[in-house]
Structure 1
Amino acid sequence: MDIDLSALSGRRAIVTGATNGLGMATARALAGAGVRVVLAVRDVDLGRRRAAEFGGDCEVIELDLANLASVRSFAERLDGRVDYLINNAGVFPHTHTRTADGFELGIGTNFLGPFALTSLLLPRIEREIVLVASDAHKAGHVDPEDLDLTRRRWNPARAYAQSKLAVMLWGLELDRRLRADGSPVSVMMTTPGWVASNISNKPRLALAHRAVQGAASVFANDVDAGARTTLYCLTAPIAPGSYVGVDGLWALRGEPVLFGRSSEACDFELAGRLWAKAEELTASRDPDAAGIGGMS
């Protein structure tokens, strides 16, 4: 399947986590198509090197989603309006650690940071928001009153699955609010399948990383193929609120297709409670603002 990005030329997109993996592949494809790309990255020096590699019109702004002060600083430093916000950056929390704001690392980086970023930027977004989730959400459970997993035993898989289910529920509620508000902005959720990336390349995991990379080279998408689900959302005539995955065996690799989600990811009541908790934790709600916090 060919994805024609030519219609996006001249538009402006923010890609979080654009120095490596899916974010790098997404930003590179967009820059190559003439999109004005904002690389929202933790490592500014590497971001500048990536911008030089990509060519085109790229801007680099520092962003650490595990630090709400950095999120606010990014929003203040960004000039002008954007067509697309691609919430791509994320972590697999290999150790039980916390963000700068005291949140469990997975939920803080994968959900609360992007939630705050989107809240701040929404009045300036004109076309689409893409939330990169994961089919790992189907193994997750979310309790808005226990996002730090203090009542349940923490482990990496549970923390990751919870964070990605939170992203799915956020997308469900964000789409509902955008539609109710009559907004022209759409929200899409994606899973790239299994991607051969550096997510397991962490200290003390060298053997596991080599094993994962060996299997991924056979069964997984590379980062360019994985990025196609995001690019598909920007170009295909699909309904707002859609969830896009891949069509291959066990959804590991393949071409972008509309995808099913778990029953918990369709729970509007839970999504509303999670939204309220995220607003509380990130101080995102401002009744006088034009952002999502003020939507009904």
Structure 2
Amino acid sequence: MKWNERDIPSQKGRVAVVTGANTGLGFETARALAEHGATVVLAVRDVAKGKQAASRLTGDVSVQELDLTSLNSIRAAADNLHDTLPGIDLLINNAGVMFTPRQTTRDGFELQFGTNHLGHFAFTGLVLDMLLPLANSRVVTVSSVGHRLRADIHFDDLQSQQSYSRVAAYGQSKLANLMFTYELQRRLARHSTTIAVAAHPGFANTDLVRNSPGMLRAINPIISPLLSQKPEMGALPSLRAATDPAVLGGQYYGPIDLGGNRGHPEIVASSPRSYDMAIQQRLWSVSEDLTGVTFPELG
């Protein structure tokens, strides 16, 4: 049986916060959750674009400003969610940047590592107390098949100050997403029913490819029709990770056809490197130091 949106159980009474939800995979994730009854918060950097996206959705949808390149914005968003929501059942860490020229966040972090990993790490830590009391709450973090691309956690040069490869930096950030998920799940398992799950969309046709290296952009018109899928298909792994009652903490969902680039979502394996517990724990400690965010006591 091929899992699809029709398999999403009712989300009535549940609150979902989706980062980067004004376009692409995040928008399709938010749309499907709202259509199945969830109260959905679009957590976006550009509020005007967020409101435009919200106007295209049906159901209980609101917009929260969240700039993952700014720890001040992350803290302000978390504070506001504490003030306005009774709790969070689903946190979907979807927002991301890919293959950008070397830039830094407002706090001086390399843009891809700072946005994709550190921003979500900090945001999750600051709102996790809103998930912990709720039965069957979940943190879903979107990684990528790109976590295998020249990927390692370069503790000697996390911010790519010594040398920069946009591909390697992206791979590091997506590997960090997985390591964060696995370490978070290990900590959650000691404390509550909240679980952490990862997902990847495969090769989805979104505007993330705009910063791809020139060679990849040149061949994209050729390979895209063969490999890519529409954003609503790319969102299915995140949706399954967020809503399928059979999902277990620490699992990783992605498409299974054409080398994991397209198709319906199933449990998939990540790279051997991603399961290294010592690196996961070191990354967690470094991330706390860099962001100044300490997670609630999880046992």
CA distance in structure 2 between the aligned counterparts of 1:200 and 1:215, rounded to whole angstroms: 13
Aligned with 1:250: secondary structure? coil
| 1:57 match | 60
Equivalent-residue separation in structure 2 for 1:98 and 1:154 (angstroms): 12
Q: TM-score, normalised by structure 1?
A: 0.92
Find the residue that maps to 2:271 and give its secondary structure: coil
What code does the residue aligned with 1:240 have?
A: G
Select which of 114, 122, 130 maps to 1:124.
130
Equivalents in 2 of 1:59, 1:213: separation in Å?
36
1:170 shift after superposition: 0.7
Counterpart residue number, 2:95:
89
Residue 210 and residue 39 in structure 1: after superposition, are their counterparts in 2 closer, same or farther (change >3 A)? Answer: farther
| 2:154 corresponding residue in structure 1 | 143
CA distance in 1, matches of 2:111, 2:233: 27
CA contact (8 A) 1:144 1:273 kept: no
| Cα distance, 1:219 vs structure 2 | 1.6
Question: 1:275: which partner in 2?
Answer: 284
1:157-208 per-position Cα deviation (integer Å, ceiling 9, x unaligned): 0000000011111111101000122x11001001111111101225996x96
Match of 2:236 among 205, 228, 233: 228
Residue 101 of structure 2 contacts residue 166 of structure 2 at CA under 8 Å; is this kept in 1? Answer: yes
Q: Output the CA distance in 2 between the equivalents of 1:115 and 1:204.
A: 27
Q: Is the 8 A contact 1:65 1:71 kept in 2?
A: yes
Match of 1:66 in 2: 69
How far, CA to CA, are the matches of 1:149 and 1:204 in structure 2?
A: 17
Moved over 6 A (4+): none
Residue by residue over 1:89-129, the C-alpha shift from the partner in whole angstroms, topping out at 9 and shown as x without a partner, is: 00014211100000000100000000000000000013000
Is residue 143 of structure 2 the alignment partner of residue 133 of structure 1? yes
Give distance in 1, aligned partners of 2:70 and 2:283: 20
User: What is the match of residue 171 of structure 2?
Assistant: 161
Question: Separation in 2 of the partners of 1:221 and 1:204?
Answer: 21
Is the alpha carbon distance of 1:89 and 1:213 closer, same or farther for their aligned partners in structure 2, counting shifts above 3 Å? Answer: farther
Q: Secondary structure at the match of 1:246?
A: strand
Q: Does 1:295 align with 2:285?
A: no
Matched length: 287
For structure 1, which segment, 234-243 or 272-281, has the greater mean C-alpha deviation from structure 2 after superposition?
A: 234-243
What does residue 288 of structure 1 align with? none
* Distance in 2, Cα, partners of 1:217 & 1:37: 32
2:198 aligned with 1:189, yes or no?
yes
Please name the residue that 1:25 is paired with: 28
Q: Shift of residue 144 of structure 1?
A: 3.2
Matching residue's letter, 2:72:
A
Q: CA RMSD in A?
A: 1.8
Match of 1:284 in 2: 293
Using the alignment, how far apart are the partners of 2:213 and 2:193 within structure 1?
47
How many angstroms does 1:52 deviate by?
A: 1.1
Residue 110 (str. 1) matches residue 103 (str. 2): no
Is the 1:35–1:57 Cα contact (8 Å) retained in structure 2? yes
Preserved CA contact (<8 Å) 1:65 1:114: yes
Measure the CA separation in 2 of the matches of 1:232 and 1:9.
Answer: 16
Counterpart CA distance in 2 for 1:97 and 1:64 is 15
Aligned-residue offset at 1:212: 2.2
Q: What is residue 252 of structure 2 aligned with on the other side?
A: 243
2:18 maps to: 15
Matched, 1:217 2:206: no
Residue type at the aligned position of 2:79: E
Is contact 1:93–1:105 with CA below 8 Å preserved after alignment? Answer: no
TM-score (norm 2): 0.91
